Amino acid sequence: MMMQDVWNQFGPAIATIMFAWTMYQNYFPHELRGHIRRYTDKLVNYFYPFMHIIFHEYETDGWFERSKAYVAIERYLSKNSSTQAKRLVANVVKDGQSLVLTMDDHEEITDDYEGEKVWWISSQKEANRQTISWYPREEEKRYFKLKFHRKNREIITNTYLKYVLDEGKAISVRERQRKLYTNNKGDGGYDGYRRRMWSQVVFEHPSTFKTLAMEPNKKQEIMDDLETFSKSKEYYAKIGKAWKRGYLLYGPPGTGKSSMIAAMANFLQYDVYDLELTAVKDNTELRKLLIDTTSKSIIVIEDIDCSLDLTGQRKKEEKKEKEDKVEKDVIKEELKKREEKKPSEVTLSGLLNFIDGLWSAIGGERLIVFTTNFVEKLDPALIRRGRMDKHIELSYCCFESFKVLANNYLDVASHDHFPEIQRLLGETNITPADVAENLMPKSSKETADTCLARLIKAIETAKVEAKLKAEEEKAEKEKVEKENEEKKKGAAATEYAKKPDDVKENGNCSETNGVKENADVS
């Protein structure tokens, strides 16, 4: 009976509230409702101790453009959502390597920052009109609400939000799917109405510093240099330099220059932009390519001495004369004519500005890497310090490099053949690529002993070939010197024969007299 009395009294109260609310919605003017709501909110806020900050999913301007702040917060909250929220949403993020778990609508999680508690709430605002919209931001107005105590206003707005956004961006970078880019030609592909400057594939090169055949001390030095660079944003700003660093990799073919670039990219988790200079129309397009690159990337120009005639632009006429005398091969002439149909107008000056000019300061955290087999062919201005800050020579295989390769290919740390291989490597030049090829088993029946024996035989063969080549070069050099000496004698004899007889006689007399006079004087 008591419960029935409560419901009998509670029912009319609910009916009265519903009637008042209906009258308010239907008959109160819109302007009056606005004033009532405003003053009601003020009254509530006077006693309510918490503050709210709203982060909408879509930007106010633009179509389908998600707010960068919303995306960063979503990535930051993903690590807390999976442990606190009861209802999760799994999203496949573009260019991401894994699923991102975020809290569903109307879920709430807590976060602690410097001992202060904050609340993150995921919500969705329903559309006011019952119409079909082509734009998802009009239908799905999702947002994050940050709730915190008003006493923490300064710490939240000044430091906590910056920490959340920076951490969210860092998570996005770490979990992104890294890409390998190559530049398109001037008539390349188009993305909508805009020509795409770069084509891309997923970067999946397995090379790391652990698998790289190199002396351990030198390897560690490069790793320390890269790590220092990646953490030096404030330092570069302090000294007034663009946050970039140049690396020149040089050495004979097969010494691991491309593997070194892949190891650098995997170590720093950077994208790679493989720039083909011959496909660049002019200096203007070169700058556009630079603008279209992202931070945390490595811009690579491989075999720069072969890419363009960059070394000869200061001595163009002299080089042209030499080429006219030397290059007479029909095939080379034909290839040269084809290349001259659409020559690249990229100049040495344009490339220098690309590396170290005003345009190089666009963006940040970039490495610029040049590779070459013949460093002496490059213009000194191109590889000076400040442009190519660190020069790394990748030379022939030493014993330390061999041990890395033996461990990688054969899982062998020591063997009876090692002393013999160490002796041979000290006497012979052989590239890490040749060593690796001999260490790789050619069938399932081959053992480590078989592969090491094959390597010893290959090094001995290379030693004999190098000796024969040196003897041939020496004989060729002596032959050329002898021919030049004979040509000089023949030219002198011909010149003497062309002189008139009286000149010859006078010359002989004067020469004889001169000798006699000198003899008398002495």
Q: Do residues 410 and 434 make contact, with C-beta atoms less than 8 angstroms apart?
A: no
- What is the average per-residue pLDDT within 215-221? 92
d(CA 72, CA 84): 19
pLDDT at residue 326 is higher than 70: no
Q: Which of 307, 231, 297 is nearest to 270 (CA)?
A: 297
Q: Tens digit of pLDDT for each residue in 380-431?
A: 888 888 889 999 999 999 999 999 999 999 999 999 999 999 999 999 999 9
**Range list of β-strands (E), 311-380:** 366-372
Q: Is 112 helix (H, G, I), strand (E, B) or coil?
A: strand
pLDDT at residue 310 is higher than 70: no
pLDDT at residue 295 is higher than 70: yes
Structural domains of the chain, with CATH: 49-175 (no CATH), 181-393 (3.40.50.300), 492-521 (no CATH)
Q: Which of 109, 113, 125 is nearest to 54 (CA)?
A: 125
Which range has the worst mean pLDDT, 302-311, 319-328, 339-348, 499-508? 319-328
- What is the average per-residue pLDDT within 11-30? 74
Mean pLDDT, the chain, rounded, equals 81
Q: Which of 213, 263, 208, 214 is nearest to 439 (CA)?
A: 213
Q: Tens digit of pLDDT for each residue in 48-63?
A: 788 889 998 887 655 5
- Residue 125 is predicted with a pLDDT of 73
Q: Report residue 125 as tokens.
A: 């605002």
- Residue 517 is predicted with a pLDDT of 43
Q: Which of 68, 393, 391 is nearest to 401 (CA)?
A: 393
Q: Report residue 244 as tokens.
A: 């970039």
Q: How far is residue 5 CA from its own chain's centroid?
A: 77
d(CA 182, CA 244): 20
d(CA 417, CA 399): 12
Q: Tens digit of pLDDT for each residue in 433-459?
A: 999 999 999 998 899 999 999 999 999
pTM here is: 0.71
Q: Please count the other Cβ atoms lying within 10 Å of the Cβ belonging to residue 360.
A: 22
